[in-house]
Chain A
Amino acid sequence: MRYLRLLLTQIRISLALGMQYRWEFLLGGGLTVVWTLISLVPLHIAFSGRPPIEGWTYERALVVVGWFTLLKGVLDGAVNPSLIRVVEQIRQGTLDFTLLKPADAQFLVSTAKFEVWKVVDVTAALAIFTYAFSRLGRAPAVVDVAVALAMLGAATLVLYSLWILVIAAAFWVVRLDNLAYLFNSLFDFARWPVTMFSGIWRVIFTVVIPLALMTTYPALALLGALPPRTGLLSVGGALLFAVVARVVWRRAIAHYTSASS
């Protein structure tokens, strides 16, 4: 309960901050629309007027892209901004102030900042969903939407845990730019249904860096084609990921020696 109140306070602060940068909203919104359209080009080339690949038609793959856009918004709006700040705090030693506060440090650093304007990405995702389903000529069933939302929860948890792992590395190495860059380039492949990959890459994207869990399974759920077993396994996998991230984070914090002299 206390943490919920803390979370609401942090969000309120971010909202107040975000309101100061209204032009950023306009600019960011415009960019989002342009980028969403441009990033559809590879998909268009791969699917438009061509036979389905591994059972994925243009419309169904569009649903995956919709989930990608949505998760990208979650990543850039709720996960990334706070965690990027941690890296800076570790280097400067100001993480001390956070650690001294009478609340869980992981919670505090994870909710430190929200980019409220990234809501535009969510709108773009909804537009893609609407377009895809109108081309399919049906609406998603209510049950499917519920399952998809549950999968979104699992996906966000995995995404967040992966980022915590990346950030935990910052306690040992000073620079994280290239690790973050690597993660972003890998995440970019989440726009494709994972079953399109074969061999080693499918294994990597399902188990090691579970892109499948982030976009393909939620998309399948929304299409009403997700096997219940896969769904349960992914929720379990997401929880496992979160536990691992938590353990690593605790060890990393223990390793932290303030940078101030």
Chain B
Amino acid sequence: MNLRSLRRATRVLRAYPTLLRVGFAGVMAYRAEMLVWMLTTTMPLVSLALWTAVSSRAPVGKFGPADFTAYFLAILIVRQLTSSWLVWELNAEIKSGALSQRLLKPMHPLFLFSADNLAAIPIRSLLCLPLALVLLFATGDRIPRDPTTLALVAVALLGAWLLNFLVSALIGALAFVMESSTAIFEVYLAAFSIFAGYLVPIELFPPTLRAVSEALPFRYTLALPAELLTGLLDPARALPQLAVQWAYVLGALVATTLAWRAGIRRFAAFGG
């Protein structure tokens, strides 16, 4: 049993580079969609313009214009590296029956989707990421330089990507039982835009709302790595938050696996 699962794991890992190449080719085939997506990811720049204007007279809380600039650049970077559009993808594939092709392959479809997602990151971030990184470095010595903090940032980024991906897979899997789960994802996104610190830094929230956002999963998909990256979050205080993040990742992993198992059993490929 143990040996078999080990063998299966190595097989997936061996196939992964190929999957990434396939995913990359797929991205190149849909450049127009990618362009729209890139435009969407520039939204933090609008927030940046807005909040620097708001804080130009007097700082908001402890945030001056430079702080807002650094914060929203970090948000942009994290969002580019960790976002997932799997919900739309899954809704389309389940409805059209295209998912059955993935089911034929000898590994979990989520591995295939994850490879697609990772392969898209270089193209997706081509437009903004270099610029944002340069600008972020230009905002001064906010960026942590010591290796421990950088490692924490990496762990937080990985956790954020996993959590985003798994939650998308979970909401997308709802399309197995309902006509379309994109409406649910829109509610999720609305909550995300407030509680993940996408529109306003969570630091500026009233205390109760801040406590709420720290209990909800949204913050751990975006604000946590961004705050670490801009030095807003003390590395010592980051550890318990990282623990919460990874607890959410594990929970999402279990829920997603179960939902997929139940969903695929229901799935009778349309138009097959």
Footprint of B on A, CB under 8 Å? Answer: 31, 35, 38-39, 41-42, 44-46, 50-51, 53-54, 173, 175, 177-179, 181-182, 184-186, 188-189, 192, 196-199, 201
Contacts and interface: CB of A to CB of B under 8 A. Distances in A.
A197 to B, nearest CB: 6
Interface centre among B39, B40, B205, B206, by most A CB within 10 Å? B40
A53 B57 contact: yes
Interface of B is mostly: helix
A77 B72 CA distance: 32
Nearest to B54: A46
12 contacts: A35-B190, A53-B53, A53-B57, A54-B53, A178-B33, A185-B40, A196-B53, A197-B49, A198-B49, A199-B49, A201-B46, A201-B49
Contacts of B215: none
Interface in B160-175: none
A198 B205 contact: no
Interface in B201-234: 204-206, 209
Interface string B29-46: 000110011011001001
B262 interface: no
A52 B165 CA distance: 41
B131 to A, nearest CB: 15
Contacts of B209: 41
A144 to B, nearest CB: 27
A83 B169 CA distance: 27
Contact of B193 (A46, A178, A188, A198): A188
Contacts of B40: 178, 181-182, 185
B58 A50 contact: yes
- Which 8 pairs from chain A and chain B are nearest by CB? A177-B88, A42-B200, A182-B40, A178-B36, A46-B54, A45-B204, A201-B49, A185-B43
A201 B46 CA distance: 7
A33 to B, nearest CB: 14
B193 A51 contact: no
A149 to B, nearest CB: 28
Nearest to B200: A42
B101 to A, nearest CB: 17
A38 B198 CA distance: 14
B92 interface: yes
Contacts of B39: 182
B194 interface: yes
B92 A175 contact: yes
B182 A177 contact: yes
Contacts of B12: none
Nearest to A46: B54
B158 interface: no
A92 to B, nearest CB: 11
B200 A45 contact: yes
A39 B194 contact: yes
Contact of A173 (B33, B50, B92, B194): B33
Contact of A189 (B50, B88, B186): B50
Given A42-B194, A53-B57, 6 more contacts: A31-B187, A41-B194, A53-B53, A175-B88, A199-B49, A201-B49
A197 B182 contact: no
B85 interface: yes
Given A46-B60, A185-B43, A201-B46, A175 B54 contact: no
Given A178-B85, A189-B50, A192-B50, A42 B199 contact: yes
B154 to A, nearest CB: 28
Nearest to A185: B43
Interface in B177-192: 182, 186-187, 190
Contacts of A38: 194
A201 B49 CA distance: 8
A198 B52 CA distance: 10
Contacts of B206: 41, 44
Contact of B54 (A178, A188, A196, A199): A196
Nearest to A76: B186
Contacts of B61: 45
Contacts of A44: 206
A198 B45 CA distance: 12
Nearest to A173: B32
A35 B194 CA distance: 10
